[in-house]
Structures are given as C-alpha cells and as structure tokens.
Structure 1
C-alpha cells in the first residue's frame, strides 16, 4: 500500500469492523436487547425529569420514583443480558414482559406507553428468537450411501470383531487367555 492512498486502509478497517459486528449481531437476539434497553430508559427517566418553560418548572415527580428507577435499570440490565448471555434469552424475555406490565401502574403509565411498548416488543422478540444454523450444517448432504467407498472409517475394533471376544474372555478368566 502506498503512502498516497491512506483511505483504503481505513476503508478496510471499517469493513472488518462492520463484518465482525454483523456476525456478533447474528449470534444473539440483538434487536430484542436493543428494544428492551430503549424501553427501560423512558421508564426510568420520566419520573425524574423536569421541564422548564420560562420561569415555570414542570416536574413529573411521583411517589413511585424509586420503583420506576428499579424497573428501568432492570430492563436495561435484561437487554444487556440478552446481548451477552443469550443462553438465558427466554428468562430475560419473560422478565422484560413482566416488568413492562408492572411499569404501567408504577411508572407514569409505563413511561407514557413508550417504554412499555418498547420493553414489551423486546421481551417478545427475545422469547421468539432462535439461534441460526451454522453454514456447514446448511450444506446439502451427500447422496452416497453410508456403506459406500466414501464412508468414514470408524477407529478401533468393531462389535463383531474377534479381538473383542478374546479380550473379554481373557478378562473374565483373570487375565489368562484361553487360546494360548
């Protein structure tokens, strides 16, 4: 690579990063985690937000502010769990749906329905997600029979082999071989 074209190196780096992110995203319920995280943010934010209009302050402070904060933080945590521990995606999805439902009475109608709907969709996507099949598994199977010349060899003695019966009978007689 010449010093006159440094843009190609950056372009290559960006393609590698994009490809790695696409592979990472395909191995886990990415969109479910994103919707769940985005659902937790308004649920936790709105009870503590205050809007200033001129000299007037509009605050949405409620008595359930701590409950809203806990629900929002748990939803963000569940979204991150869906990304980094996708093996527990069903548990995380069910928990996200339950927390979204609990946020309706606790947190200003679930973050004014924005957080409720996002968390509900994220939980449902997490439950419905299934890992994809590997590229090798999708290759068509060979039409050759298993007994054919291309059949894989099985290492070690076979079940009907005479060495197995000799070893078994020798072991049964205390280590002495009856043949010799």
Structure 2
C-alpha cells in the first residue's frame, strides 16, 4: 500500500469521524462488549448479583447496539445516548456490577459524550468582537451620513 493511499484513507476517516459523536459511540460500544465478556468469566471471578438470565446478556447487547447506531446514525444520537445510559445503569444489577465497574464507566462516559456532542456550527463570536463590529459599522454609517449632509 502506498503512502498516498494511506493518507487518503486516513483523511477520509478523519472527515467521517468529524461529523459524528465518534468517541461517545465507541466508548458505549466498548462498554457493552466489556460487560458481555465479563458474563463469560469463570465462576470463581463472577459475582452473581441479581438476575443472570436474559437481561444479563440483553442490556450489554443494547449498549453495543446503541453505540453502533450512534456512530452510523448521528442524527438520532440523543435517543441512543439516553437509551444507552439507561441500559448501562441496568447492568449494575444484571451483569456483575456493570462488568466490574469498567463497562459501567465506559458506557456512562460514552453516553454522556454522545449526548453532549454538537454538530459543527458557525464559530462563536465573543461579545467584545460583536460590539467592536457594531461600533465599526455604526461609525462607518455616521461618517457616510456626515459626508452626505455636507454635500449641497
């Protein structure tokens, strides 16, 4: 693979990543995967708390699904992040204390990042700069008014 091809792939990935809550979706997905992996730990390690039935596998799967949907459908990120956070909190009871706290923390941080992400917007302008621009515009208008009034 040539160097220019790698640069093209890398820049395409950066552009794709820039228009979505990438880190939030990735952390939520990794949290769900970690919790699913702790479900398969040996019985000496696993602390059986709560229901170990279907919910122990369903909630981490929902977390992973929400993380992936956040990555590939960023327009619905608010719904997916709230659903992911609720599923993450549910794993506290159903899945070994949320994958021994690691998956729980990954899922909550990822959900919060996805919820708080905003698409690119116009750069914010400080109040000082807005006032200065208004003054310039106002001074420019008064100068033209003075020159108009001076003309016969």
TM-score normalised by the chain length of structure 2:
0.74
Of 32, 35, 42, which aligns to 2:24?
Answer: 32
Q: Indicate the structure (1 or 2) with the bigger Cα radius of gyration.
A: 1
Structure 2: distance between partners of 1:46 and 1:61: 10
- Pick from 13, 22, 26 the counterpart of residue 14 of structure 2: 22
- Across the aligned residues of Structure 1 and Structure 2, the Cα RMSD in angstroms comes to 2.2
What is the CA deviation profile of residues 104-128 of structure 1, one whole-angstrom value per residue up to 9, with x for unaligned ones? 1111111100010000001101110
Instruction: Give 1 or 2: higher strand fraction.
Output: 1
Q: Could you tell me whether the CA contact under 8 Å between 1:49 and 1:60 is conserved in 2?
A: yes
Aligned residue in 2 for 1:114: 102
Cα deviation, residue 66, structure 1 = 2.4
Structure 1: gaps (5+ residues) = 1-8, 51-56, 139-180
Q: How many residues align?
A: 123
For structure 2, the residue ranges without an aligned partner over 5 or more in a row are 124-152
Q: Which structure has greater helix proportion? A: 2
Map 1:19-168; keep pairs closer than 5 Å: 19-50=11-42, 58=44, 60=46, 62=48, 63-133=51-121
Structure with the larger RCO, 1 or 2 (CA within 8 Å, 6+ apart): 2
TM-score normalised by length of structure 1: 0.63
